[in-house]
A and B are shown apart, each in its own frame.
Chain A
Amino acid sequence: METETGNDVTVQKTGTTTVGLVTAEGVVLAADRRASLGGRFVSNKQAVKIEQIHPTAAVTLSGSVGAGQAFIRQLRSTANLYEARRGEPMNMDALARTAGRLLRGTRSMPVLGGVDEEGPRVFQIDPAGGVLEDTYTASGSGTQLATGALERLYEEDLSLAEGASVATQAVESAIERDTASGNGITVARITSEDVMIDIDSTSEEVH
């Protein structure tokens, strides 16, 4: 996580390393648990940066904590209204388009992951509203470290358990060297059935 100084006010940032990847059985999202101020002070050691926003989708938080939380609330509300109005949940394309629209002009850069009729899908959303689908991606201050690990470890057709292991290792790699990431790992496993978020995943499955 980093801190950010705008208008002479320092706001909490996630600093953060978050990753998302597609497996044969679903999507895995993982994130560290550190929030920081100005990148030099750990302001929170138990931040949970993955939230469910839909019956079979979740997002990671990275960048400004406030912007990320506001984004999540809006996205969840939109998904709920969509389902109440139409009697079926949003598909991932609709959810990604909405996420991009809501993010424009904010200071948040989440990873969106979920499962719809097309299967497991992962999207990188940027603060300008850019929406790019990928099979594996990372965001936050530890992006480069996590991406290096993902390039080496990611394979197509991983099982959900193998995917969780790869995602956890990628975040752990970043935690080792990125001062704004740390304090444990949250892992989410998303299938066509539901979203399971393990808030404080031990790294047993890593090694």
Chain B
Amino acid sequence: MRGQDDRQAYDRGTSLFSPDGRLYQVEYAREAVKRGGASVGIRATDGVVLVAERRIRSSLLEARSIEKLHKIDEHNGVASAGHVADARQLVEEARQTAQIEQLSYDQPITPEQLTGDVSEHVQEYTQAGHTRPFGAALLVGGYVEGTPQLFETDPSGTSYEWQATAIGGNSDEIEEELESEYDPEISLDAASSLAVSVLTEEEEDDPETVAVAVIDDDGYRTLDREAIEDLL
């Protein structure tokens, strides 16, 4: 088998490696994440901010129905990119995992543990038969016992910890911008402004095009239209 045939033979199943050690379906799922709007997460000294781009394709669409920021529990939130329907399944998994941790151990789940558990779930879908990988990536931000943390999980089920990062369309360019702008001593307010600015175009000033959530000592909350206008 050569060329096009070669690839077709090895991307039929998720659990099939190509001779050069690649899982094509997982790589395609990563591409699916890049097709959607971007989400940005930044860890500040006193909390974490998550910002998601909203692509409003019609003036008739209710912007609030574009769900890309999700409360997981009092201490953790998720920003998603890629297939929204796939992301919703992962968010539900995360919410149940968070409550099980509290019920089992009488302690809030950390973003690290939460991401680990969701990643295990995602990984199963890259190895089991009759499934396809999740076409979504998540940023998990949380503030537990005075510690802000930001994690990412991708369609392969790999997790990473970040100071600041982006997932979804245009994420490489956004990440470059974050690399030059990020300061480890940044405050949550400054991080919120930075996250919104890297996600919006220069002249953009419509607060409907982004959604913002912050997680700090007071827990998870989304910002209203006025607060977002201030950030713009």
User: A-side interface residues toward B, CB under 8 Å?
Assistant: 73-74, 77, 80-81, 83-85, 87
- 22 pairs of residues in contact across A and B, judged by CB atoms under 8 Å: A73-B103, A74-B103, A77-B99, A77-B102, A77-B103, A80-B73, A80-B74, A80-B99, A80-B102, A81-B95, A81-B96, A81-B99, A83-B71, A84-B70, A84-B71, A84-B72, A84-B73, A84-B95, A84-B98, A85-B92, A85-B95, A87-B71
Closest residue of chain A to B94 (Cβ to Cβ) is A84
Residues of chain A within 8 A (CB-CB) of B96 are: 81
Residues of chain B within 8 A (CB-CB) of A81 are: 95-96, 99
Chain B nearest CB from A84 CB (Å) reads 5
Residues of chain B within 8 A (CB-CB) of A80 are: 73-74, 99, 102
Residues of chain B within 8 A (CB-CB) of A74 are: 103
With A and B bound together, what is the CA distance between A36 and B150 in angstroms? Answer: 47
With A and B bound together, what is the CA distance between A106 and B96 in angstroms? Answer: 24
Closest residue of chain B to A83 (Cβ to Cβ) is B71
User: B-side interface residues toward A, CB under 8 Å?
Assistant: 70-74, 92, 95-96, 98-99, 102-103
Residues of chain B within 8 A (CB-CB) of A73 are: 103
Chain B nearest CB from A65 CB (Å) reads 16
With A and B bound together, what is the CA distance between A103 and B1 in angstroms? Answer: 64
With A and B bound together, what is the CA distance between A80 and B70 in angstroms? Answer: 14
Closest residue of chain A to B96 (Cβ to Cβ) is A81
With A and B bound together, what is the CA distance between A177 and B68 in angstroms? Answer: 59
Known: A81-B96, A84-B72, A85-B92. 19 other contacts (CB 8 A): A73-B103, A74-B103, A77-B99, A77-B102, A77-B103, A80-B73, A80-B74, A80-B99, A80-B102, A81-B95, A81-B99, A83-B71, A84-B70, A84-B71, A84-B73, A84-B95, A84-B98, A85-B95, A87-B71
Residues of chain B within 8 A (CB-CB) of A84 are: 70-73, 95, 98
Residues of chain B within 8 A (CB-CB) of A77 are: 99, 102-103
Closest residue of chain B to A74 (Cβ to Cβ) is B103
Closest residue of chain B to A78 (Cβ to Cβ) is B99
Q: Which 7 A-B pairs have the closest CB atoms?
A: A77-B99, A84-B71, A84-B95, A77-B103, A81-B99, A73-B103, A81-B95
Chain A nearest CB from B71 CB (Å) reads 5
Closest residue of chain B to A76 (Cβ to Cβ) is B102
Residues of chain A within 8 A (CB-CB) of B98 are: 84
With A and B bound together, what is the CA distance between A87 and B213 in angstroms? Answer: 13
Residues of chain B within 8 A (CB-CB) of A87 are: 71
With A and B bound together, what is the CA distance between A85 and B147 in angstroms? Answer: 25
Chain B nearest CB from A81 CB (Å) reads 5
With A and B bound together, what is the CA distance between A81 and B74 in angstroms? Answer: 10
Residues of chain A within 8 A (CB-CB) of B73 are: 80, 84
Chain A nearest CB from B144 CB (Å) reads 15
Residues of chain B within 8 A (CB-CB) of A83 are: 71
With A and B bound together, what is the CA distance between A84 and B99 in angstroms? Answer: 11
Chain A nearest CB from B37 CB (Å) reads 21
Chain A nearest CB from B102 CB (Å) reads 6
Residues of chain A within 8 A (CB-CB) of B95 are: 81, 84-85
Residues of chain A within 8 A (CB-CB) of B102 are: 77, 80
